[in-house]
Amino acid sequence: MASAFNIDAFTSELTHGGALASLFECELTGAVGGLKGDISTWTFMCKGVVFPASTIDVATVTYMGRALNIPSNRAAGQLTTSIYNDEDMKIRDHVENWMERLNSHKTNKRDASFTRILDYTAEMKVRQLKKDGSGKTKEYSFKNVWPSSCGEIALSWDTNDIQTFDITWEYSYWASGSSGAGAS
pLDDT tens per residue across span 77-113: 899 999 999 999 999 999 999 999 999 999 999 999 9
Residue ranges and CATH numbers for the domains of the chain are 19-175 (2.30.110)
pTM of the model: 0.86
The answer to whether 94 touches 101, Cβ cutoff 8 Å, is no
Percentage of the residues of the chain whose pLDDT score is greater than 90 = 68
DSSP string, the chain: ---S--HHHHHHHSGGG---TT-EEEEEESPPTT-SS--TTHHHHEEEEEPPP--EEEEEEEETTEEEEEEEEEPP--EEEEEEPPTT-HHHHHHHHHHHHHS-TTT----TT--SHHHH-EEEEEEEEPTTSS-EEEEEEEEEEEEEEE------TT--PPPEEEEEEE-SEEEBTTTTBT--
Q: What are the pLDDT digits (tens) for 53-77?
A: 889 999 999 999 999 999 999 888 8
For the four alpha carbons of 163, 91, 94 and 90, in that order, the dihedral sign comes to positive
